[in-house]
Amino acid sequence: MKEMAEVRELKENRYIIIDDEPCKIVSMTTSKPGKHGEAKARIEAIGVFDNQKRSVIYPVRHKVAVPIIDRRTAQVISIMGDKVQLMDLETYETFEMDIPEEFKDKIQEGKDIEYIQAMGKRKITRV
């Protein structure tokens, strides 16, 4: 899911979709309008799911897609090597996810974790 917003409405630490990837805005600079042009904004962002740095330049009145980031809580049902089986505490949906490197030793069965969900992808954010 996504919504549309003008570039001038965006701020740092908010989200934007670049190359069909939800990204968190790290820095944003705007240039003054030229003699015949329009002010432009340079946006530096990092992919939420792939951690790749991306930058784009748009006119400030340009409409861009903004992802709807859903923060959720889940309970760890079981751990199977590099994968973890989780149950969402709101919808009771069960699903599997890869365990990120930084949480390899911290995840335990029966404990709750926080994850984000956007555009059909999920990522564990806190244990």
**16-33 pLDDT, tens per residue?**
999 999 999 999 999 988
The 10s digit of each residue's pLDDT in 97-127 is 998 888 888 888 999 999 999 988 999 998 8
Helix (H) / strand (E) element for 125: namely strand 121-126
Q: What would the mean pLDDT of 47-73 be, rounded to a whole number?
A: 93
Q: What would the mean pLDDT of 48-55 be, rounded to a whole number?
A: 93
Average pLDDT of the chain, as a whole number: 92
Helix (H) / strand (E) element for 117: namely strand 112-118
pLDDT of res. 35 = 80
- Tokens 């995840």 belong to 107
Q: Report the percent of the chain where pLDDT is more than 90.
A: 76
- Alpha-carbon dihedral angle through residues 47, 87, 1, 24, given to the nearest 10 degrees: -20
Check pLDDT > 90 for residue 37. no
